[in-house]
């Protein structure tokens, strides 16, 4: 055997060993937990044969606590690039079979390398997290590694899409990288995120809590809002990441890819002419409206189980990717609260950063009232959504379906926040407040002065108020509404507006950065 042949054989053998990570027994243990390995996840995520791996032979440099006696090629993370549906992405997947996927300085260097490449080459970066946290044996080096990753998350924000998949533990400082990315997906029953684990919580607060109840996918997708998606399995989670990418551009200088659709732009939906109840206090389901106007009824909802009084997500309209923000009258009457404001404002800002037009469907009676909301800073949080819409320069098309009252009217992409095209259905009510509240304020003295006819006075004044404001025409007369449209034609009118706005250019004043109310 020649020296060259022998060297090639050694390379092949070393690659085969590196692909086993921590070895066959640890892979079996990973499978026994119902979890895939890092390489199995990447194989499912990326187009077949497209993965180009970097730094397969990197090893840690730690000599503390006997670490110098055990080395694994790759050092607990698989990094590289590949394609998803033919589009370039950069990836890293932590390997729990090597030191529990714990972060070393060399692991952080591998991750930072692909993040730098992603920014330079203008492609999304996807991180699959499955790690026990910082490698304790490395001390400050591991913490420095996290800091390097976090800084890159920050600098890449708004430049390339960043997606985090949590496929196992993610605790302590490790949670901040996913929190800094654009979208976080968790897997039910096998992944969790928290700053301090159940044992520490018990010792400090006396609370008994399980990992799942403290930081599981269900908790973070419904209560904290940390997770944007919760999948029932790893396969579903990876499929969701791929679906999400189909709506996003490669970077902030490009537009999302157009898709072919057989759904006619001119399709009308008679259901929409009847969907708004005659009783203004009766709810209806906004999901039905969304399903009627988007291409093929396909809607990828973001934060589905969190702050359900507002709906956000991606769809295609006329083959063009759009971000949809819609009040949900079936939950809290569609009122805006703290969580809904935070949820929608971050989504609006993401769409604006990545050139995705915004379609806003409005049916909002106002902001939720009460001490819980006021003490929790509903003012500041509501201002976030106001700010997000006001600074956004992407095409903005707004359709008011029914109620649009007070400050909430302004916040939901009104004309004065540089809304491009603002439509209203004939059922739209655009006013400072609803008729009952307005009459009680405007005619309180008259009603109090004539208690015998109070009811008649109230109903008369209510009718006068409704005649004036319980329609979209006063706003249309002043140019605040560009047109009153028949509901069944909403899809056609919105798509035509988006086509008109496709080459929109709008600048904001030069500044170092803004000061979003936080």
Catalytic option among 118, 408, 428, 475: 408
- DSSP secondary structure of 20-68: TTT-HHHHHHHHHTT---HHHHHHHHSPTT--EEE-TT------GGGGG
The pair of structure tokens assigned to 127 is: 């991180």
Active-site residue, 419 included: no
CA dist., res. 351 & res. 226, Å (int): 18
Look-up of token digits 């892979």: 27
Dihedral sign of CA atoms 279, 284, 289, 292 in order: negative
Strand partners, 91: 80, 126
**Angle at the Cα of 168 from the Cα atoms of 115 and 116, rounded to 5 degrees:** 0
Q: For residue 386, give the H/E element and its range.
A: helix 378-391
The answer to whether the beta carbons of residues 472 and 481 sit under 8 Å apart is yes
Question: Which one of the listed residues 18, 407, 437, 454 is annotated catalytic?
Answer: 407
Q: What is the DSSP letter of 420?
A: S
Secondary structure E strands in 159-303 = 162-166, 169-171, 183-187, 192-194, 229-231, 299-302
172 is catalytic: yes
- The residue annotated as part of the active site, out of 158, 173, 319, 406, is 173
Supply the DSSP string of 260-302, one letter for each residue: ---S-TT---THHHH-S-SSTT----HHHHHHHHSGGG-EEEE
Verify whether residue 407 is a known catalytic residue: yes
Query: Could you confirm whether 173 is annotated as catalytic?
Result: yes
Which residues are identified as catalytic? 172-173, 407-408
């Amino acid at each position: 055997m020649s020296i060259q042949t022998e060297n090639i054989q050694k390379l092949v053998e070393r690659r085969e060993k590196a692909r086993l990570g921590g070895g066959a027994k640890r892979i079996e243990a990973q499978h026994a937990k119902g979890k895939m390995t890092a390489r199995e996840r990447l194989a499912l995520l990326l187009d077949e044969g497209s993965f180009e791996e970097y730094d397969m032979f990197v090893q840690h440099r730690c000599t503390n606590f006997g670490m110098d006696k055990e080395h694994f090629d790759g050092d607990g993370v698989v990094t590289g690039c590949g394609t998803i549906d033919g589009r370039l992405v950069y990836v890293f997947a932590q390997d729990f079979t090597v030191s529990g996927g714990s972060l070393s300085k060399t692991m952080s260097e591998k991750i930072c390398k692909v993040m730098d490449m992603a920014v330079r080459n203008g492609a999304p970066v996807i991180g699959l997290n499955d790690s026990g946290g910082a490698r304790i044996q490395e001390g400050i080096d591991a913490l420095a590694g996290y800091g390097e990753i976090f800084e890159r998350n920050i600098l890449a924000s708004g430049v390339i899409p960043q997606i985090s998949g949590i496929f196992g533990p993610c605790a302590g400082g490790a949670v901040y990288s996913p929190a800094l990315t654009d979208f976080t997906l968790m897997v039910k029953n096998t992944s969790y995120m928290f700053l301090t684990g159940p044992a520490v919580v018990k010792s400090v607060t006396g609370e008994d809590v399980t990992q799942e109840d403290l930081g599981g996918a269900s908790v973070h997708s419904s209560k904290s809002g940390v997770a944007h998606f919760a999948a029932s399995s790893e396969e579903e989670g990876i499929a969701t990441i791929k679906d999400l990418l189909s709506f996003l551009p490669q970077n902030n200088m490009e537009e999302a890819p157009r898709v072919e659709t057989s759904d006619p732009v001119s399709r009308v939906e008679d259901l929409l002419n009847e969907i708004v109840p005659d009783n203004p206090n009766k709810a209806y389901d906004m999901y039905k409206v969304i399903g009627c106007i988007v291409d093929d009824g396909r809607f990828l909802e973001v934060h589905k189980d969190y702050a359900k009084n507002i709906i956000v997500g991606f769809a295609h309209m006329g083959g063009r990717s759009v971000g949809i923000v819609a009040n949900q009258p079936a939950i809290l009457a569609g009122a805006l609260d703290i969580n809904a404001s935070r949820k929608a404002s971050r989504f609006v800002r993401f769409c604006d950063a990545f050139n995705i037009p915004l379609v806003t469907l409005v049916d909002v009676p106002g902001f939720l009232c009460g001490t819980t909301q006021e003490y929790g800073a509903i003012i500041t949080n509501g201002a976030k959504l106001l700010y997000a819409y006001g600074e956004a320069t992407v095409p903005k098309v707004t359709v008011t379906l029914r109620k649009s009252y007070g400050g909430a009217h302004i916040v939901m992409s009104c004309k004065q926040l540089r809304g491009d095209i603002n439509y209203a259905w004939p059922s739209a009510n655009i006013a400072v407040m609803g008729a009952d509240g307005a009459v009680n304020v405007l005619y309180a003295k008259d009603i109090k002065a004539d208690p015998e006819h109070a009811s008649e006075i109230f109903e008369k004044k209510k009718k006068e108020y409704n005649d004036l404001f319980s329609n979209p025409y006063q706003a249309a007369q002043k140019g605040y509404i560009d047109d009153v449209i028949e509901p069944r034609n909403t899809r056609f009118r919105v798509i035509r507006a988006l086509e008109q706005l496709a080459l929109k250019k709008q600048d904001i004043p030069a500044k170092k950065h803004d000061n979003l109310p936080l």
